[in-house]
Amino acid sequence: MPTSGYDEGELRRSALALGSNIGDSQAILEAAIETLAQTPGILLEARSNWYQTKAIGPPQPDYLNGCATLQVKILPQQLLEILLGVEQQFGRVRQERWGPRILDLDLLLYDDIILDTPNLQIPHPRMRDRAFVLVPLAEIAPDWVEPVSGCVIKELLKEVDCSGVHLWMGN
């Protein structure tokens, strides 16, 4: 679906996943949320707790993961560019697929649109399979309808194995 009809300046709801497993992950994630909250055109609506999760891919430390919902006045492509810029600001270097990372920001949902472009897919194509995304997202947006499946987040959560996702209690 094209983004026509989504005017810049009109508030739209968006959901993000955040993750880190290099450095002081909790401090990095908190600072990334704060950076986004101070970005023009972005209003922080809600944020989840942090969850410790097993990494997917090559051997590496566990992740801290969480989600946030935003009210945005920017189009999906612009939001993606902001997220990539914040990752870069925190020192993210893209090397190995599913490798360790200082900060990972994924755009999960943008209102109820379905978008498929070479560099952006909404909803995020793997979010329905990932407990580390669905657990924190269900905490803050349980009734948000994922537009491809037509299911609410709390129902999608029932379809995944959540055994590797644990509430982070801090240091």
Helix (H) / strand (E) containing 36: helix 25-37
Active-site residue, 12 included: no
Q: Is residue 98 part of a domain?
A: yes
CATH of the domain at 128: 3.30.70.560
Task: Say how far apart CA 82 and CA 87 lie, in whole Å.
Answer: 9
Residue of 12, 47, 104, 128 with catalytic role: 104
Going by the DSSP 8-state scheme, the letter that residue 144 receives in this structure is: P
Computed over every residue of the chain, the mean pLDDT equals 91
CA distances, 71 to each of 43, 64, 139 (Å): 5, 23, 17
6 within domain boundaries:
no
The yes-or-no answer on residue 24 being catalytic is no
pLDDT at 1: 36
Contact 45, 71 (CB under 8 A): yes
pTM of the model: 0.91
Residue 16 tokens read as 């993000």
Tell me whether residue 5 is in a domain: no
Whether 41 and 30 have beta carbons less than 8 Å apart is answered as: no
Give the type of residue at 16.
Answer: L
Proportion of the chain above pLDDT 70, given as a percent: 90
Is 111 part of the annotated catalytic residue set?
A: no
Q: Which of 12, 47, 92, 130 is catalytic?
A: 92
- The answer to whether residue 50 is domain-embedded is yes
Write out pLDDT tens, residues 125-146: 999 999 999 999 999 999 999 9
- Which position among 12, 13, 24, 106 bears the catalytic label? 106
Which residue in 12, 101, 128, 130 is the catalytic one? 101
Residue appearing with tokens 């947006």: 141
CB-CB neighbours of 153 under 10 Å: 25
Give percent above pLDDT 90 in the chain. Answer: 81
Domain assignment present for residue 47? The answer is yes
Confidence at residue 155, expressed as pLDDT on a 0 to 100 scale: 98
List pLDDT tens digits, range 79-120.
Answer: 999 999 999 999 876 665 666 889 999 999 999 999 999 999
Query: Tell me, what's the pLDDT at 170?
Result: 78
The number of distinct structural domains making up the chain is: 1
| Residue 11 bridge partners (DSSP) | none
The whole-number pLDDT of residue 61 equals 92
- In a domain, residue 122? The reply is yes
Active site residue 13: no
Domain that holds residue 112: 12-167
Residue 148 lies in a domain: yes
What is residue 171's predicted lDDT score, i.e. its pLDDT?
Answer: 57
pLDDT at 55: 86
Tell me if 96 is assigned to some domain: yes
CA distance 42 to 22: 26
User: Can you read off the two tokens belonging to residue 127?
Assistant: 């979010």
